[in-house]
Amino acid sequence: PLTSCSVATAPGGTRIDDGDKTKVTEQCVFRVEENHTVIRRYAQVFNKLIRRYKYLEKAFEEEIKKLLLFLKAFSEAEQTKLAMLTGILLANNSLPPPIITSLFSDNLVKEGISASFAVKMFKAWMAEKDASAVTSALRKANLDKKLLELLPPNKQTVEHFSAYFNAAGLKELSEFLRMQQSLGTRKELQKELQERLSQECPIREIVVYVKEEMKRTELQEPAVIGLLWTCLMNDVEWNKKEELVTEQALKHLKHYAPLLAVFSSQGQSELVLLLKIQDYCYDNIHFMKSFSKIVVLFYKADVLSEEAVLKWYKDAHSAKGKSIFLEQMKKFVEWLQNAEEESESEGEED
C-alpha cells in the first residue's frame, strides 16, 4: 500500500500514472528523508484516500499488519520511516491501535526489533497527539498491560521497560505502564484477599500472604491498607438499621484490627485509612454516625496513632461530610490534646 497509494497521489498533489515506475519509486515513502514533516505528508495522502474510498480502509489495515510482521525484511532506515508513518497514522485514526499487536510476533520480539520499532512509532504518535491521548487509546484497545511484551522475554519487567523508554524520551509511557501494572496488581490482590476473608482464613495466614505479595509486586503499604479496608467492608452484608449497623461494624472491625495494625505502621498509611473510613461512612448513609466510633476503636487497637488522628482533624480530612465528622470527633480530639498537654507538663516536672 505504501507504493499503491503513492501511485494515486504524491505529496504536493502530483498525479502519478499507474505505469510510471520511475515516479512510483521516487515517491515511495521509503525513499524520502527521515523527517517527521515529510512523512506526515504521506500520512495525509493515505488519510485522504481512505476517507474518500472507505473500502480501502480494511485492506490498508491488513497490508500494514503484514508489513509489521515482516519488519526483518526492511533495513533499519526503512523500519524507522515505517515506524514514523505508523505512529502518525495512529494519531490521525487512519489505523486502529490493535494493529500494534503485530509487533508481538516472537521473532521480532526476541531480536529487539519490536521494541526499537515501538519507540520510534510512539515518538511519532506523541509528536502528533499528547501523551494522555496516546495512553487513552492504548487503554481502550486493552493494550495497556501488554506493552511489556514488546521487550525480549528476559527483559519483560517494568524496570527494563522504564529504562529503555525513558532513554528514548518516552517517560510518560513508562509511567503509564507502571501505573497500569500497579492497578492490575491491586485488582488481583483484592480478589484474592476477598476470597480469603470469605473463607475466614486465620489473620496470621493473611498477613504472611500480603507481605509476600508486597515484596513480589513492590506494592507499598498505603495502597495495601486501602485494599484491606475495602475488602473488610465488602465482606459483610450490613444491617439496614442505623442503630444496629454500628454495633455490627465495631464487632467485625475489632476482630480484624490486628490485621490492619500490621499494615498501618506509617503515618501516610494511617491517613489513607482515615480517609477511606471517612469516604465509606459518607457514601453509605447508615454509617454516618459510626465514623467517630470506628476511629476510636482503631485508636485503642493501635491501628491509628494520636498523631494521625490529630493530623486528619486539622488539615488532612476530605470535603465529604467534613462538618459532620469533625463535629463527631471534636470531643475525642480535645481529649487527645489535653492528654498530650498533661504528658508534656509531667515531663517538664520530671
pLDDT in tens, 322-340: 999 999 999 999 999 887 6
What is the pLDDT confidence band of residue 217, given thresholds at 50, 70 and 90?
A: confident
The overall pTM is greater than 0.85: no
The confidence score (pLDDT) of residue 88 equals: 96
What is the pLDDT confidence band of residue 343, given thresholds at 50, 70 and 90?
A: low
- Lowest mean pLDDT of 20-29, 36-45, 200-209, 321-330, name the range: 20-29
User: What's the distance, Cα to Cα, between the start and end of the chain in Å?
Assistant: 88
Assigned C-alpha cell, 115: 521494541
Instruction: Give the integer Cα–Cα distance in Å for 244 and 225.
Output: 26
Most confident option among 177-181, 184-188, 232-236, 346-350: 232-236
Instruction: Give the integer Cα–Cα distance in Å for 159 and 140.
Output: 24
149, amino acid identity: E
- Lowest mean pLDDT of 89-98, 150-159, 271-280, 339-348, name the range: 339-348
Residue 210 pLDDT exceeds 90:
yes
Q: Of 177, 68, 48, 192, which is closest to residue 118 (Cα–Cα)?
A: 68
The confidence score (pLDDT) of residue 23 equals: 39
Q: What is the DSSP string of 48-96?
A: HHHHH-TTHHHHHHHHHHHHHHTGGGS-HHHHHHHHHHHHHHHHTTSS-
The confidence score (pLDDT) of residue 243 equals: 80
Residue 5 pLDDT exceeds 50:
no
Tally of residues, the chain:
350
Q: Of 115, 94, 91, which is closest to residue 104 (Cα–Cα)?
A: 115
Higher pLDDT, 2 or 61: 61
Residue 20 pLDDT exceeds 50:
no
The confidence score (pLDDT) of residue 347 equals: 57
Question: 334: how many CB neighbours lie within 10 A of its CB?
Answer: 10
Give me the chain's average pLDDT, please.
87
Q: What is the pLDDT of residues 31-77, one digit of tens each?
A: 888 999 999 998 998 889 888 888 889 999 999 999 999 999 999 99
The confidence score (pLDDT) of residue 24 equals: 34
Distance of CA 185 to the CA centre of its chain: 10
Average pLDDT over residues 157-183: 88
The confidence score (pLDDT) of residue 2 equals: 46
Instruction: Give the integer Cα–Cα distance in Å for 300 and 325.
Output: 19
CA dihedral for 204, 206, 212, 215, sign (positive or negative): negative
**Distances from the Cα of 208 to the Cα of 45, 116, 220, 262, angstroms:** 60, 41, 15, 11
Alpha-helix runs per DSSP H in 168-290: 171-198, 203-217, 221-234, 242-262, 267-283
Instruction: Give the integer Cα–Cα distance in Å for 92 and 86.
Output: 10
Instruction: Give the integer Cα–Cα distance in Å for 203 and 93.
Output: 51
Instruction: Give the integer Cα–Cα distance in Å for 38 and 183.
Output: 39
Q: Of 179, 184, 166, which is closest to residue 136 (Cα–Cα)?
A: 179
The confidence score (pLDDT) of residue 9 equals: 38
Higher pLDDT, 179 or 72: 72
Q: What is the pLDDT of residues 98-122, one digit of tens each?
A: 999 999 999 999 999 999 999 999 9
Q: What is the pLDDT of residues 245-299, one digit of tens each?
A: 999 999 999 999 999 999 999 999 999 999 999 999 999 999 999 999 999 999 9
Residue 7 pLDDT exceeds 90:
no
Assigned C-alpha cell, 256: 480484624
Burial (0-12, 13-18, 19+ Cβ within 10 Å), 191: exposed
What is the pLDDT confidence band of residue 225, given thresholds at 50, 70 and 90?
A: very high
The confidence score (pLDDT) of residue 3 equals: 43
The confidence score (pLDDT) of residue 241 equals: 85
Q: State the Cα angle at 252 between 262 and 193, rounded to 5°.
A: 55
Per the listing, cell 494521625 goes with 308
313, amino acid identity: Y
Instruction: Give the integer Cα–Cα distance in Å for 344 and 278.
Output: 30
Q: Specify the DSSP class assigned to residue 168.
A: T
Residue 165 pLDDT exceeds 50:
yes
Assigned C-alpha cell, 322: 467534613
The confidence score (pLDDT) of residue 350 equals: 52
Instruction: Give the integer Cα–Cα distance in Å for 304 and 195.
Output: 26
